[in-house]
Amino acid sequence: MSFVYLDHNATTPIDPRVLEKMLPYFTQVYGNAASVDHEFGHQALEAVNLAREQIAAAINAEPDEIIFTSGATESDNIALLGVAEKYARKGDHIITCVTEHKAVLDTCARLERLGKRVTYLPVDQYGLVDPEDVRRAITPQTILVSIMAANNEIGTLAPLAEIGQVTREHGVLFHTDAAQAVGHVPLDVKAMNIDILSMSAHKMYGPKGVGALYRRRSNPRVLLEPVIYGGGHERGIRSGTLNVPGIVGFGEALEIAVNEMEVYTLHSRNLISHLLSQIELEIKGISLNGHSVLRLPHNLSLVIPGVEGKALSVRLGDIALSTGSACTSAKVEPSHVIQALGFDSSRAHNTIRISVGRFNKIDDINYAAKKIIKEAKLLQALIS
């Protein structure tokens, strides 16, 4: 059985070049980066510092503005909980959006239980937040706006620079969950006025369980109350012994992703349009979720009329794709993202998410297209 992986928004395989860079840090350079009384620690610290530089350079930040974490979930938690606590005297109001990842939405729910106020902005039918809605929602009590850079289900890219302009004008901090965007589309925290940004290595051909938070150092200096307390690592914002091999892999993965962004953007777009044109030829009435231009190049959110995504994915067997957000697919609930676009729940149930990757070949796409067409037609025949 050939197996075709088309679920790169859920996670990516490690690039062999990244793995090669990581390996010595498991068995040879295994020192603790915070234990620098000897050469083992020095070498580990040097490797961490290099990764810090690689990651900062990728988003136009400074190395000392990068805080290593266990991934984007933790970064989102630190950003929201950390700002809410540190700026409690300034205000108690946070603005976010209905299509955010659960890492943001569930943290906001926690903040509401703690007595904070959260505004959930709507999106239009393409998943876009209107920067003017952000402006209108800001009150003198607003301390933070958190809007994701790229949606993990439908691939829509947010107007970050425009939102950053609004938050800067009003003196409100701007956080973005960029787990899906970093390494896939250009990001510049200075030009976009982003104050805090969440990242995750495993969405860009790096290892799982490692991520980072960018935290602006000046103009304004962002203060964050930690979520985890301990030895004071990472400027006291995230205590805990650093995952040196993971961090090395993260740095390398992001450097590669930025250097090769143009090549892989083109590669992804070609694969997606090839897949879509084959499916469109054979199945009538399909439609797409998300924005046609402002979108991640490797994501396709496809609606096949009369075909339940879950039923289709079971029949596809050796083709890995997703029927909603992978992070929440343990629950068979219509996706909150598709519903937020203003469609009924049947559209959400009829949606499949296909996300291609660096190592997919045209043969994978031909195989997947053929099988998706065959199984979707069978399912359509069953209900007609």
**Looking at 327, 328, 366, 367, which residue is catalytic?**
327
Helix and strand tally (H, E) in the chain? 13, 12
Q: Which of 82, 211, 290, 309 binds ligand PLP (CB under 6 A)?
A: 211
State the alpha helices, DSSP H only, in 115-259.
Answer: 131-137, 160-170, 244-259
101 binds ligand PLP (CB under 6 A): yes
CB-based contact 151:341 (threshold 8 Å): no
Q: Which is nearer to ligand PLP, 100 or 252 (CB)?
A: 100
Residue (178 or 312) nearer to ligand PLP, CB? 178
Minimum CB–partner distance for residue 200 and ligand PLP (Å): 3
DSSP state, 14? P
Instruction: Identify whether 97 is a catalytic site residue.
Output: no
Tell me the number of residues near ligand PLP by CB under 6 A: 13
180 binds ligand PLP (CB under 6 A): yes
Is residue 200 involved in binding ligand PLP (CB under 6 A)? yes
- 96 neighbors 118 (Cβ within 8 angstroms): yes
Dist. CA 21–CA 349, nearest whole Å: 42
**Rounded-to-integer distance, Cα 285 and Cα 238, Å:** 50
Segment interacting with ligand PLP, rule: CB under 6 A, options 69-77, 138-146, 239-247, 293-301 = 69-77
Which residue number, 156 or 167, has a Cβ lying nearer to ligand PLP?
156
* 152 binding ligand PLP? (CB under 6 A): yes
Give dist(CA 180, CA 101) in Å, integer: 11
Which of 50, 57, 276, 327 is in the footprint of ligand PLP by CB under 6 A?
Answer: 327
| Angle of helix 309-316 versus helix 362-383 axis, rounded to 10 | 130
**171 CB burial (10 A radius; 0-12, 13-18, 19+):** exposed
Please report which residue ranges of 140-260 form alpha helices under DSSP H. 160-170, 244-259
Of 55, 166, 179, 352, which one interacts with ligand PLP (CB under 6 A)? Answer: 179
Fill in the DSSP letter of residue 257: H
Q: Find all residues with CB under 8 Å of 51, minimum gap 6, and list them.
A: 247, 248, 250, 251, 252
Interface with ligand PLP (CB under 6 A), residue from 72, 79, 134, 256: 72
Pick 165 or 328: Cβ nearer ligand PLP: 328
Which of these ranges, 172-180, 216-224, 269-277, 366-374, lies near ligand PLP under the rule CB under 6 A?
Answer: 172-180
Residues that bind ligand PLP (CB under 6 A): 71-73, 101, 103, 148, 152, 177, 179-180, 200, 211, 327
